[in-house]
């Protein structure tokens, strides 16, 4: 029976091929030609080779059983294997896996050798690993359920640089900032020129327009302490180091001259630092510090910095006693030295 069926199919195929050459292609029902009825199976014990194959009908479809492997045995012009190609959308109603068995127990991962786009949700029941030097781009994406506890040791999240406005008191009790995580700020203790006194290390007196140094005034520039040629009388004062003091501590002075220097002007100074908070500064001897040059830069305000040698001895609550004076200068025609402001500058805690 099977041999006669094969012979009959060969005859029918030959007739169909001959008819196709003579006239236009015509559809033939092989089942009817072989005496079968709808639903019959035709068992061909061999290889069937066709140029094209249509399975099922329009709107009805059909089922193709492949009890084995689909392989494209052809190659391109260079000898490279041609892949099996699906020229339409593909629907798969089962799981996709590689190798003889499904699951992750073997060393045969399912490989996608191209970029991949998922239009719906992506659920992963395992780890996600990126190769080295790759970028995970989650811009404008909301990530939920992630906390610092989920990060491995040493991992950090970049802070957002977006502008944020606090509309209420910010209370962070779960993860408060440590003191060393807040940048220290530079702050100053301003001192009024009228608060200083002259001849500070002898018989101090209020500074006036008649004392040395004298109190002067220029329109559009304001008050200043003025030293003229050969003046060496000191002026000074005292201050309490603020409680937010963290480190540093230096006196600063805004200075100008009434003209170009002939030789040199220097400002010398002394400071006493109480070694214990609440202890009077005068219980510590005055330390003579290195003089600071006055720049030859007439008409421009220059900032001079006076840093105590024993700066590390300064603590919050200390009393600082200080005085300043010009070095002796006998050069004829020296300009006046004008001091417009004096202040104490330090690094403060937040």
Amino acid 164: pLDDT: 75
Amino acid 53: pLDDT: 80
Closest CA to 345 of 234, 223, 248, 277: 248
Q: What is the CA radius of gyration of the chain?
A: 48
54 occurs within a structural domain: no
The total domain count for the chain is: 1
224 close to 217: Cβ distance less than 8 angstroms: yes
Lowest mean pLDDT among 227-236, 240-249, 267-276: 267-276
Dihedrals phi, psi of 181, to nearest 5 degrees: -95, -5
CATH number at residue 306: 2.60.120.260
274 close to 283: Cβ distance less than 8 angstroms: yes
Compute the half-sphere exposure of residue 217: CA atoms within 13 Å on the CB side of its CA.
5
Amino acid 58: pLDDT: 82
> How far is the C-alpha of 20 from the C-alpha of 9, rounded, in Å?
16
> How far is the C-alpha of 330 from the C-alpha of 193, rounded, in Å?
26
Q: Is the peptide bond before 213 cis (omega within 30 degrees of 0)?
A: yes
Amino acid 7: pLDDT: 46
> How far is the C-alpha of 83 from the C-alpha of 114, rounded, in Å?
14
Closest CA to 292 of 311, 272, 312, 270: 270
74 occurs within a structural domain: no
> How far is the C-alpha of 100 from the C-alpha of 103, rounded, in Å?
10
Lowest mean pLDDT among 12-26, 67-81, 85-99, 333-347: 12-26
Amino acid 160: pLDDT: 64
Range of the domain at 307: 185-348
Residue 324 has pLDDT above 90, yes or no: yes
Non-local (6+) Cβ contacts of 303 within 8 A are: 252, 253, 254, 255
161 occurs within a structural domain: no
Non-local (6+) Cβ contacts of 143 within 8 A are: none
72 occurs within a structural domain: no
Single pTM value for the model:
0.51
> How far is the C-alpha of 292 from the C-alpha of 314, rounded, in Å?
21
Cite the DSSP H helix spans in the chain.
2-22, 30-33
Residue 25 has pLDDT above 60, yes or no: yes
Q: pLDDT (tens digit, 9 = 90+) per residue, 250-298?
A: 999 999 999 999 988 999 999 988 766 556 555 567 788 999 999 999 9
Non-local (6+) Cβ contacts of 297 within 8 A are: 256, 257
Residue 308: in which H helix or E strand, if any? none
165 occurs within a structural domain: no
138 occurs within a structural domain: no
Q: pLDDT (tens digit, 9 = 90+) per residue, 149-190?
A: 777 776 666 666 677 777 888 777 777 777 677 778 899 999
Structure tokens at 266: 């220097």
Amino acid 280: pLDDT: 58
322 occurs within a structural domain: yes
If you search the block for the tokens 């830069």, which residue do you land on? 297
100: number of Cβ within 10 Å: 7
Burial profile 313-343: b = 16 or more Cβ within 10 angstroms, e = fewer:
ebeeebbbbbbbbbeebeeeebbbbbbbbbe
Query: Which residue spans within the chain are E strands per DSSP?
Result: 185-191, 197-198, 205-206, 214-218, 222-227, 235-240, 245-257, 266-273, 287-293, 302-306, 319-326, 337-348
Q: Stretch 215-220: mean pLDDT, rounded?
A: 91
Closest CA to 294 of 311, 320, 269: 269
Structure tokens at 108: 């045969």
24 occurs within a structural domain: no
> How far is the C-alpha of 349 from the C-alpha of 185, rounded, in Å?
7
> How far is the C-alpha of 276 from the C-alpha of 317, rounded, in Å?
8
């Amino acid at each position: 029976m099977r041999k006669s069926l094969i012979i009959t199919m060969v005859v029918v195929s030959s007739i169909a091929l001959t008819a196709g050459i003579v006239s236009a292609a015509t559809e033939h029902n092989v089942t009817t030609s072989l005496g079968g009825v709808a639903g019959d199976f035709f068992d061909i014990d061999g290889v069937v080779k066709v140029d094209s194959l249509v399975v099922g009908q329009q709107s009805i479809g059909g089922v193709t059983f492949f009890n084995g492997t689909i392989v494209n045995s052809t190659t391109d012009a260079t000898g490279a294997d041609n892949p099996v190609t699906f020229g339409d959308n593909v629907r798969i109603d089962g799981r996709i896996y590689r190798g003889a068995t499904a699951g992750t127990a073997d060393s045969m991962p399912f490989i996608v050798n191209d970029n991949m786009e998922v239009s719906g949700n992506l659920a992963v029941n395992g780890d996600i690993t990126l190769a080295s030097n790759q970028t995970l781009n989650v811009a404008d994406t909301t990530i939920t359920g992630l906390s610092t506890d989920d990060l491995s040791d040493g991992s950090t999240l970049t802070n957002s640089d977006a502008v944020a406005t606090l509309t209420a008191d910010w209370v962070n009790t779960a993860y408060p900032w440590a003191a060393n995580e807040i940048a220290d700020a530079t702050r100053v203790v301003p001192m009024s020129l009228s608060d200083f006194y002259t001849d500070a290390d002898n018989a101090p007196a209020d500074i006036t327009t008649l004392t040395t140094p004298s109190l002067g005034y220029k329109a559009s520039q304001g008050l200043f302490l003025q030293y003229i040629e050969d003046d060496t009388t000191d002026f000074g004062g005292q201050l309490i180091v603020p409680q937010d003091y963290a480190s540093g501590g230096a006196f600063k002075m805004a200075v100008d001259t009434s003209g170009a220097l002939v030789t040199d002007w220097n400002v010398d100074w002394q400071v006493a630092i109480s070694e214990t908070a609440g202890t009077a500064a005068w219980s510590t001897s005055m330390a003579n510090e290195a003089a600071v040059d006055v720049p030859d830069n007439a008409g421009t305000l220059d900032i001079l910095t006076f840093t105590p040698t024993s700066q590390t001895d300064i603590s919050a609550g200390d009393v600082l006693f200080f005085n300043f004076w010009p070095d002796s200068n006998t050069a004829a025609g020296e300009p006046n030295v004008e001091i417009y402001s004096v202040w104490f500058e330090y690094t403060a805690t937040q």
